[in-house]
Amino acid sequence: DAGVIQSPRHEVTEMGQEVTLRCKPISGHDYLFWYRQTMMRGLELLIYFNNNVPIDDSGMPEDRFSAKMPNASFSTLKIQPSEPRDSAVYFCASSPGQIQETQYFGPGTRLLVL
């Protein structure tokens, strides 16, 4: 298996632009997680899905952030409009059948908002 795939790996954009991050989980995994890593706050859970349904989005910073999972093999995290404080590394992870199982992380997307 190729593992969790994220794209793009790097994104540089200007403040106010829309940014879309993509994730393909490991095939057969029921859970998908979006995280943000910053120096100040470490690794933060933004949202997670179970069988394509959002379960907990309490970590989503504000309305500028939205996430979707239209099918079992694809998820997006969108920021509109982007701001410099959104600059961070965004990780996607997936896990098999139960929330307490090990998560497998993608390589991350490094986002820089100028």
Partner 1 sequence: ILNVEQSPQSLHVQEGDSTNFTCSFPSSNFYALHWYRWETAKSPEALFVMTLNGDEKKKGRISATLNTKEGYSYLYIKGSQPEDSATYLCALTSYDKVIFGPGTSLSVIP
Residue of 16, 17, 97, 99 that binds partner 1 (CB under 8 A): 99
Minimum distance, C-beta of residue 26 to partner 1, in the bound complex (Å): 13
The first and second tokens of residue 92, run together, are: 């996607």
Minimum distance, C-beta of residue 14 to partner 1, in the bound complex (Å): 25
* Binding to partner 1 in span 50-89, by CB under 8 A: 55-56
C-beta closer to partner 1: residue 14 or 101: 101
Residue 6, beta-bridge partner list:
23
Q: Are strands 10-13 and 109-113 parallel, antiparallel or unpaired?
A: parallel
Name the E strands within the chain: 5-7, 10-13, 19-24, 31-38, 42-50, 53-56, 65-71, 74-79, 88-95, 104-105, 109-113
* Binding to partner 1 in span 13-32, by CB under 8 A: none
What does the per-residue mask of binding to partner 1 show for 33-52, with x meaning CB under 8 A? x-x------xxxx--x----
DSSP code of residue 81: S
Binding residues vs partner 1 (CB under 8 A): 33, 35, 42-45, 48, 55-56, 91, 93, 99-108
